[in-house]
């Protein structure tokens, strides 16, 4: 028996060492739930990341035989011998649909730009297990009813309503903006860390669809951040700790000077009443509903300052990244030039620079590439215009005479211009005359301006028409006679 205990102790030490090596040796880790669960138990997949902030991750896999229930998040910080280490985790909870073996196929997820993989596993789902479930501010205290437990108390249970410390809020990143400037709008549900009232989301997808019909302003372009997983984030408001659950986030760009008005909206939550005298066995909660309302919000929209291009310029904080395949050119030989606008703003509203052809260059319509990033409450990206040009005259030219782009910067409150800094040197013979000759349509068209184009009368040709008609009638009569003689 003592030998057996020593062997078990050795295995526990070995397991502990391997666990420590795994934790400190890897920054990102995928953890799968237990190999066996009851039909009334949950199974999980957890993403853990150490000493780095969890910024992005793929959708959790769909598993046949399991149904996704939702995600939860946690974070921790440790100080050991003066060294600070932190970790974050996101957990997706799955519930089994029936008893039996559920195969979790191998899968990969991209976390903070890195690919992590799992070999998969097989989960055995057995009969329901009688157990007390953990407490959660967004779930019930207990999930079974008194009829499921032979030890439940008889008689009616008295339930009381606990005041919740939670609220719904619609917030904006700015209170005043210019036409075309973006304002990030966030609809969140806040729950105080000291809240004791059990709350739970109720038909959130359906409610959110109805809410957005009211929230979205008609006079704005929208960039939706597309929140797929609602995860709690710890924040401090008025020196008080809350958990923020972002329900919707998007950036709106006004198309005119009308103020953006966000009306009051309501979100219905499940709020449980709890038993006045709770017992270990029996029903300790009763489902009820409560609607939380946000306050209305108005964002003032200002006209852009006077400018000849005020109605056509983009609004944002932009920079120029330009590229050219070579600065030494030859007449008649094509070259490529990329005019790339990048920064923060409504990337979709960025228009191509107006480029005029002259006797020195021919520029063709550009190929356009657009990238938009929606992250951390900001919309950034780039829009590149790739041109092909043909020089026609030798010489030294500044491309700033051909490529410039005007925009309005709301941070400085002024118009600005992005200009090319490229200088090209063109050698070779002039191609201007060849261009003119290629546009020559020939001597026939050259004589058009000198030929009389006045209308002429056709009366002199009437006798020709009469003679032709008589000839046709004679031929028709001859044909009739020949036909009759044969018959």
- Residue 379: strand pairing partners: 374
Write phi, then psi, for 403 (nearest 5 degrees). Answer: -120, 110
Distance between CA 194 and CA 140 in Å, rounded?
17
The residue whose two tokens read 């008889």 is 154
Q: Would you place residue 1 in the very low, low, confident or very high pLDDT band (cuts 50, 70, 90)?
A: very low
Give me the count of residues in the chain: 487
More confident residue, 286 or 141: 286
Whether residue 434 is found in the same domain as residue 328: yes
Please report, for the domain that includes residue 34, its CATH number: 2.60.40
- Residues 296 and 323 grouped into a single domain: no
3-state secondary structure of 213: helix
Domain's final residue, options 241, 273, 302: 302
Decide if 181 is inside a domain: yes
Residue 196 lies in a domain: yes
393 and 351 in a common domain: yes
**pLDDT tens string 393-424:** 999 999 999 999 999 999 999 999 999 999 99
**Among candidates 136, 117, 120, 116, which has minimal Cα distance to 52?**
116
- Both 295 and 387 in one domain: the answer is no
Give pLDDT, residue 171: 96
pLDDT in tens, 174-211: 999 999 999 999 999 999 988 888 888 888 888 998 99
Residue 280: pLDDT band (50, 70, 90) is: low
Q: Is residue 201 part of a domain?
A: yes
Instruction: Say what the pLDDT of residue 431 is.
Output: 77
31 and 94 in a single domain? The answer is yes
Considering 129, 151, 181, which residue would you say is the last residue of a domain?
129
Q: What is the distance between the alpha carbons of residues 397 and 400, in angstroms, rounded to a whole number? A: 9
Token pair recorded at residue 37: 């669960």
pLDDT at residue 72, rounded to an integer? 65
Q: Does some domain include residue 258? A: yes
**Mean pLDDT for all residues in the chain:** 80
Cα dihedral across residues 226, 232, 236, 239: positive or negative: positive
Q: CA angle 221-349-211, nearest 5°?
A: 10
Asked if 184 and 265 sit in the same domain, the reply is yes
| Distance, CA of 399 to CA of 385 (rounded, Å) | 14
Q: Which residues pair with 352 in a beta bridge?
A: none
Q: Are residues 190 and 296 in the same domain?
A: yes
Q: Where are the beta strands (DSSP E) in 276-313?
A: 285-293, 297-302
| Integer angstrom CA distances of residue 301 from 171, 258, 406 | 16, 6, 21
3-state secondary structure (DSSP) of residue 402: coil
Specify the range with the lowest mean pLDDT, choosing from 145-149, 222-226, 338-342, 372-376.
145-149
Instruction: Dump pLDDT digits (tens) for 68-80.
Output: 876 666 655 443 3
Q: What percent of the chain has pLDDT over 90?
A: 47
Q: Which residues of 101-134 are buried (b: 16+ CB within 10 A; e: fewer)?
A: ebebeebebebeeeebebeeeebebeeeeeeeee
Domain for residue 343, yes or no?
yes
Last residue within a domain, chosen from 129, 145, 168:
129
What pLDDT band is residue 232 in, cutting at 50, 70 and 90? confident
Q: What is the spatial distance between Cα 62 and Cα 102, in angstroms, rounded to a whole number?
A: 12
Residues 169 and 295 placed together within one structural domain of the fold: yes
pLDDT at residue 462, rounded to an integer: 67
**Max CA distance (Å), the chain:** 137
Domain boundaries, position 254: 159-302
Looking at the structure, do residues 318 and 295 belong to the same domain, yes or no?
no
Q: Does 422 fall in a domain?
A: yes
Whether pTM exceeds 0.85: no
Among candidate residues 90, 267, 236, 74, the one with its CA nearest the CA of residue 164:
267
- SS3 state of residue 441: coil
Alpha-carbon distance 152 to 145, whole Å?
9
Mean pLDDT is highest, among 109-123, 281-295, 468-482, for: 109-123
The total of structural domains in the chain comes to 3
Q: 3-class DSSP state for residue 219?
A: coil
Contact by Cβ (8 Å): 351, 314: yes
Q: Quick one: 164 and 248 in the same domain?
A: yes
Angstrom distance (rounded) from CA 369 to CA 348: 11
Residues 380 and 272 in one domain: no
Please indicate, yes or no, if residue 487 is contained in any of the structural domains. no
> Both 185 and 74 in a single domain?
no
Q: Is residue 326 part of a domain?
A: yes
Read off the pLDDT of each residue in 145-172 and give the average, rounded to a whole number.
69
Q: Does the pLDDT at position 220 exceed 90?
A: yes
């Amino acid at each position: 028996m003592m030998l057996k205990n020593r062997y078990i102790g050795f295995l526990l030490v070995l397991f502990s060492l391997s666990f420590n090596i795994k934790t400190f040796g890897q920054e990102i880790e995928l953890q799968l739930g237990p190999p066996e669960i009851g039909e009334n138990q949950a199974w999980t997949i957890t993403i853990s990341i150490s000493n780095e902030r969890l910024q992005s991750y793929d959708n959790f896999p769909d598993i046949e035989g399991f149904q996704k229930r939702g995600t939860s998040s946690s974070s921790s910080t440790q100080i050991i011998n003066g060294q600070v280490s932190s970790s974050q985790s996101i957990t997706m909870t799955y519930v089994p649909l029936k008893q039996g073996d559920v195969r979790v196929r191998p899968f990969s997820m991209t976390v903070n730009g890195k690919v992590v993989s799992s070999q998969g596993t097989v989960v055995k789902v057995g009969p329901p297990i009688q157990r007390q479930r953990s407490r959660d501010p967004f779930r019930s205290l207990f999930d079974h009813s008194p009829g499921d437990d032979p030890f439940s108390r008889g008689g009616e249970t008295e339930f009381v309503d606990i005041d919740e410390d939670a609220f719904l809020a619609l917030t904006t990143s700015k209170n005043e903006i210019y036409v075309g400037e973006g304002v990030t709008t966030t609809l969140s549900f806040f729950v105080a860390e000291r809240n004791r009232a059990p709350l739970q989301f109720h038909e959130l997808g359906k409610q959110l669809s109805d809410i957005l019909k009211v929230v979205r302003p008609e006079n704005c372009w929208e960039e939706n951040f597309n929140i797929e997983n609602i995860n709690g984030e710890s924040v401090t408001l008025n020196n008080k700790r809350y958990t923020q659950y972002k329900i919707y986030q998007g950036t709106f760009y006004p198309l005119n000077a009308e103020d953006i008005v966000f009306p009051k909206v309501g979100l219905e939550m499940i709020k449980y009443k709890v038993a006045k005298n709770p017992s270990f066995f029996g029903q300790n909660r009763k489902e009820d509903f409560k609607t939380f309302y946000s306050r209305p919000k108005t964002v003032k929209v200002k006209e852009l300052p006077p400018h000849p291009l005020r109605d056509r310029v983009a609004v944002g904080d932009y920079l120029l990244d330009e590229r050219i395949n070579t600065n030494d050119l030859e007449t008649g030989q094509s070259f490529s030039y990329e005019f790339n606008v990048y920064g923060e703003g409504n990337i979709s509203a960025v228009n191509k620079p107006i480029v005029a052809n002259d006797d020195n260059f021919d520029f063709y319509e550009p190929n356009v590439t657009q990238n938009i990033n929606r992250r951390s409450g900001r919309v950034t990206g780039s829009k590149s215009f790739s041109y092909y040009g043909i020089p026609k005259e030798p010489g030294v030219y500044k491309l700033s005479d051909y490529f410039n782009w005007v925009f309005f910067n709301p941070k400085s409150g002024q118009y600005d211009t992005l200009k090319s800094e490229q200088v090209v040197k063109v050698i070779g013979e002039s191609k201007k005359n060849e261009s003119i000759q290629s546009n020559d349509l020939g001597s026939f068209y050259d004589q058009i301006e000198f030929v009389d184009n006045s209308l002429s009368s056709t009366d002199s040709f009437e006798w020709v028409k009469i003679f032709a008609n008589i000839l046709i009638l004679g031929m028709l009569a001859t044909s009739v006679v020949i036909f009759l003689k044969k018959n």
